């Protein structure tokens, strides 16, 4: 049985190499285009106005474009502009500061309107949120229906994760504050986890590089920042503005208070950068590994490229498995650190 | 490098989505899920504690029963021994009482026998002495018909008295 599976895998890999060799041979007759790895990588990682379907660059699932330009609100399908057309004065810039973004042509030149489009990333976020809601309500409905019975199948898996995050992590750290902040932390955990995992699936509804986008990670970190500082106790602020250190460190020059004050912002910044960099890095490595095939083809011909494809796919597969692990770890680390930051803001004098 | 420049639209939608998700889940899902999980954990803990208590009590019950049985047995033995002792004592008492009683009876009988013996002895003595006197009278009447004999007798008697004194 094992041997059969390995054989099937090898046959698939061989077919891929052969198929690639075929297409590459076919392309040799097409007008040669310069391979630009950087552009390809970032076009995969960046936001888009449409959602590409597999095996085609031209067919895209259209998404709504919502822009607030000089002539007021405009809502139209992205299918009207992704081909490079101009619609109602709006088009996607091909170069300049706003490359790849919707711009509006006005008499004063091109301007960037307020862009509330449901882009690929926004759609991905909404899909993730929907999946999280489905998951949470799946578990909730199990309890509603079955009461004290232990969950089976999907609810059991979800319960295990909730137990791991809430009972084993949040509650020991937060103590009596756990029921108050648990929902936020659990929401953050499941949302990040879903976005991470969806980012690893290459076809719709996955494939959007969500948590590897600074905007997404930033919003998450800002929420933790807001909760930490808006709910902080008096003692927390006293520790920042007038910490228990020798007077020389805080009186003439407020060195320690300054450091503590910067700490307010560096903590969520670390959260943001950690999540963002890990996920972006994971995606980038997979794309680069796959790109190796094409780079080697360009350098040494079709045969070498075909041979490389086997190795690059195996390595990419390994990286994807690693990314699955990282997806979980990063979601957990974000939640764990948020828990610690929030609980640190709830210190009391007596403790 | 678009990835490093947070796009306003994306930030806006992300924030909206996250906040909505938070409020929906915090209102309808998480508290209920957490409560259910904790309730179940408590329930299981209680069940385990109850089972342990029951087992403890069961074990204890066995011990207690053994203890009670042992106690009962000891008591039984005590009672039996006591009864035995009482029986022996009763028998002993009865025996000694009987002996005393019998002794009393024999003593009384002996006393009365002695008395009767003494009485009959006395009576016999009297009768014998009366008869002796009668016989002596008769003999004397026969003998005193002769004066010599009278004198001889008086002399003999006088000598006898003299030797006695």
Please check whether residues A337 and A278 belong to one and the same domain: yes
Judge whether residue A180 has pLDDT over 80: yes
Point out the residue among A45, A143, A212 whose CB comes nearest to the CB of B32: A143
Total structural domains within chain A: 3
The reply to whether B5 touches chain A by the CB within 8 Å rule is yes
Please check whether residues A86 and A190 belong to one and the same domain: no
Percent of chain A with pLDDT over 70: 93
Prediction ipTM score: 0.83
Question: Hey, which residues 23-52 in chain B have their CB within 8 Å of chain A?
Answer: 24-26, 28-34, 36-37, 39-41, 43
Point out the residue among A47, A118, A220 whose CB comes nearest to the CB of B7: A47
Please check whether residues A11 and A108 belong to one and the same domain: no
C-alpha A308/C-alpha A289 separation (Å) is 10
Please check whether residues A133 and A271 belong to one and the same domain: yes
Please check whether residues A102 and A195 belong to one and the same domain: no
Task: Kindly state whether residue A349 falls inside one of the protein's structural domains.
Answer: no
Residue of A nearest to B8 (CA): A115
Q: Quick check: A182 and B18 CB within 8 A?
A: no
pLDDT band, very low/low/confident/very high, at B83 (cuts 50, 70, 90): very high
Q: What does the mean pLDDT of chain B come to?
A: 88
Collect all residues of chain A within an 8 Å Cβ-Cβ radius of residue B21: 129, 132-133, 187, 191
User: Residue range A25-35: average pLDDT?
Assistant: 55
Give the model confidence (pLDDT) of A90-119 as tens digits: 888 777 777 777 888 777 777 778 888 888
Residue A104's pLDDT is 80
Structure tokens belonging to residue B3: 């990835």
Is residue B25 exposed (0-12), middle (13-18) or buried (19+ Cβ within 10 Å)? Answer: buried
Task: Kindly state whether residue A48 falls inside one of the protein's structural domains.
Answer: no
Q: Quick check: B13 and A133 CB within 8 A?
A: no
Residue A19's pLDDT is 66
Collect all residues of chain A within an 8 Å Cβ-Cβ radius of residue B34: 162, 166, 179, 182
Q: Helix or strand or coil: residue A107? A: coil
User: Residue range B136-141: average pLDDT?
Assistant: 81
- Chosen domain end from A115, A131, A150: A115
The Cα of A45 is separated from the nearest Cα of chain B by a number of Å equal to 8
Residue A30's pLDDT is 47
Buried-state track A256-286, b at ≥16 Cβ within 10 A, e below 16: bbeebeeebeebbeebbebbbebbbebbbbb
- Angle (CA) A243-A246-A248 rounded to 5° is 105
Please check whether residues A135 and A256 belong to one and the same domain: yes
In this structure, of A234-248, B42-56, B85-99, B123-137, the range with the lowest mean pLDDT score is A234-248
Range of the domain at A65: 57-115
- Chosen domain end from A115, A131, A147: A115
Q: Quick check: A143 and B12 CB within 8 A?
A: no
The Cα of A121 is separated from the nearest Cα of chain B by a number of Å equal to 7
Please check whether residues A165 and A270 belong to one and the same domain: yes
The Cα of A207 is separated from the nearest Cα of chain B by a number of Å equal to 15
DSSP codes of every residue in A227-257? HHHHS--HHHHHHHHS-SS-GGGTSSS-HHH
Residue of B nearest to A65 (CA): B9
Task: Kindly state whether residue A148 falls inside one of the protein's structural domains.
Answer: yes
Task: Kindly state whether residue A44 falls inside one of the protein's structural domains.
Answer: no
Task: Kindly state whether residue A189 falls inside one of the protein's structural domains.
Answer: yes
Give the model confidence (pLDDT) of A267-311 as tens digits: 889 989 998 999 888 888 888 888 888 888 877 777 887 888 888
Please check whether residues A11 and A129 belong to one and the same domain: no
Q: Quick check: A182 and B34 CB within 8 A?
A: yes
Please check whether residues A95 and A10 belong to one and the same domain: no
Please check whether residues A182 and A136 belong to one and the same domain: yes
Residue of A nearest to B27 (CA): A183
Question: Closest Cα to residue A264, out of A300, A289, A232, A235?
Answer: A232
Task: Kindly state whether residue A178 falls inside one of the protein's structural domains.
Answer: yes
Mutate: best of A215, A223, A280, A281, partner B, most B CBs <10 A: A215
Please check whether residues A158 and A108 belong to one and the same domain: no
Task: Kindly state whether residue A135 falls inside one of the protein's structural domains.
Answer: yes
- Chosen domain end from A93, A115, A137: A115
pLDDT band, very low/low/confident/very high, at A71 (cuts 50, 70, 90): confident
Please check whether residues A172 and A223 belong to one and the same domain: yes
Q: Quick check: B11 and A280 CB within 8 A?
A: no
C-alpha B87/C-alpha B74 separation (Å) is 20
Collect all residues of chain A within an 8 Å Cβ-Cβ radius of residue B41: 167
Task: Kindly state whether residue A46 falls inside one of the protein's structural domains.
Answer: no
Point out the residue among A136, A137, A215 whose CB comes nearest to the CB of B10: A215
Point out the residue among B13, B33, B43 whose CB comes nearest to the CB of A148: B43
């Amino acid at each position: 049985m094992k041997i059969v599976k390995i054989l099937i895998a090898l046959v698939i890999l061989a077919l891929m190499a052969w198929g690639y060799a075929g297409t590459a041979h076919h392309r040799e007759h097409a007008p040669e285009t310069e391979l630009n790895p950087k552009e390809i990588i970032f076009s995969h990682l960046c936001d888009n106005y449409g959602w590409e379907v597999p095996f085609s660059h031209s067919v895209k699932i259209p998404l709504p474009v919502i822009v607030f330009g000089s002539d007021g609100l405009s809502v139209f399908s992205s299918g009207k502009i992704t081909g490079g057309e101009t619609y109602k004065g709006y088009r996607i810039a091909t170069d300049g500061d706003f490359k790849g973004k919707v711009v509006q042509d006005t008499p004063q030149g091109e301007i960037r309107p307020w862009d509330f489009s449901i882009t690929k990333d926004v759609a991905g976020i909404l899909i993730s949120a929907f999946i999280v809601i489905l998951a949470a309500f799946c578990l909730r409905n199990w309890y509603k229906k079955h009461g004290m019975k232990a969950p089976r199948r999907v609810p059991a898996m979800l319960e295990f994760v909730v137990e791991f995050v809430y009972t084993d992590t949040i509650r020991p750290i937060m103590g009596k504050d756990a029921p108050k902040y648990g929902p936020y932390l659990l929401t953050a955990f499941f949302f990040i986890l879903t976005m991470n995992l969806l980012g690893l699936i290459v076809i719709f509804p996955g494939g959007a590089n969500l948590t590897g986008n600074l905007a997404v990670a930033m919003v998450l970190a800002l929420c933790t920042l807001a909760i930490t500082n808006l709910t902080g106790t008096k003692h927390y602020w006293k520790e920042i503005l007038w910490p228990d250190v020798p007077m020389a460190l805080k009186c003439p020059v407020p060195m320690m208070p300054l450091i503590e004050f910067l700490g307010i912002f560096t903590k969520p910044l670390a959260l943001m950068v950690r999540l963002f960099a890990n996920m972006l890095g994971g995606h980038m490595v997979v794309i680069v590994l796959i790109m190796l095939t094409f780079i080697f083809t360009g350098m040494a011909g079709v045969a070498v490229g075909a041979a490389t494809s086997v190795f690059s796919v195996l390595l990419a597969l390994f990286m994807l498995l690693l990314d699955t692990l990282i997806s979980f770890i990063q979601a957990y680390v974000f939640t764990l650190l948020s828990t610690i930051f929030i609980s640190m803001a709830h210190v009391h004098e007596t403790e | 490098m678009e990835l490093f420049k947070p796009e306003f639209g994306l930030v806006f939608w992300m924030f909206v989505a996250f906040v909505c998700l938070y409020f929906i889940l915090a209102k309808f899902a998480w508290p209920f899920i957490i409560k259910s999980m904790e309730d179940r954990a408590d329930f299981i803990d209680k069940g385990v504690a109850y089972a342990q208590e029951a087992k403890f009590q069961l074990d204890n019950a066995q011990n207690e029963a053994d203890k009670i049985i042992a106690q009962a047995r000891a008591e039984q033995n005590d009672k039996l021994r006591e009864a035995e002792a009482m029986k022996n004592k009763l028998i002993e008492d009865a025996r000694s009482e009987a002996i005393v009683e019998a002794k009393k009876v024999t003593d009384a009988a002996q006393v009365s026998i002695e008395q009767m013996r003494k009485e009959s002895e006395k009576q016999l003595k009297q009768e014998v002495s009366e008869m002796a006197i009668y016989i002596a009278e008769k003999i004397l009447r026969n003998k005193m018909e002769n004066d010599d004999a009278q004198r001889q007798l008086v002399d003999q008697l006088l000598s006898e008295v003299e030797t006695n004194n």
